[in-house]
Amino acid sequence: MPSPSADGPRISNLVFDPSDTFVGCTVTMRFHYQAADAEITGGLARWSVAHGRRLTIDGLALPRDAFDGKDAGDVSIPLTLRNTGSYRYRVQIEDSMGRRSNVLEQGAHAEVTWAWWIAPCAR
């Protein structure tokens, strides 16, 4: 992730709901943002997922419309966890002046259910 700007927007309270789920299920990434004097133009979520010794790294551009042109608010973005393992997410946003926010980090976990009595998520 790029270095944060000293006077850039700020993000806080990064959570995943639920934080533990099954592969193929959707989790919702939520965080609060606040910008001083510029519109949020988007952001970036990068993640790594570790399964044993295997590490996969990927990313996602956060859409501008998720911020509704507001200078502060809460963002909810649905994500589908496609691999088993422990996920580590890093999130950063950027404003229209090119300033980057602080970086938040949070984890989630996905596994495969082998028990027939545990209902998988709705796909």
The string of pLDDT tens digits covering residues 62-74 is 988 888 877 788 9
To the nearest 10°, report the CA torsion of 56, 89, 41, 24: 70
Tell which CATH classification among 2.40.50.140, 3.40.50.450, 2.60.40.10, 3.40.50.920 matches the domain 10-111.
2.60.40.10
Instruction: For residue 119, name the pLDDT band (cuts at 50, 70, 90).
Output: low
- pTM, entire model: 0.84
Interatomic CA distance for residues 56 and 48, integer angstroms? 5
Say if residues 59 and 43 touch (Cβ distance below 8 Å).
no
Instruction: With H, G, I as helix, E, B as strand and everything else as coil, classify residue 67.
Output: helix
Instruction: For residue 89, name the pLDDT band (cuts at 50, 70, 90).
Output: very high
- Cβ contacts of residue 88 below 8 Å, gap of 6+? 47, 48, 49, 50, 105, 106, 107
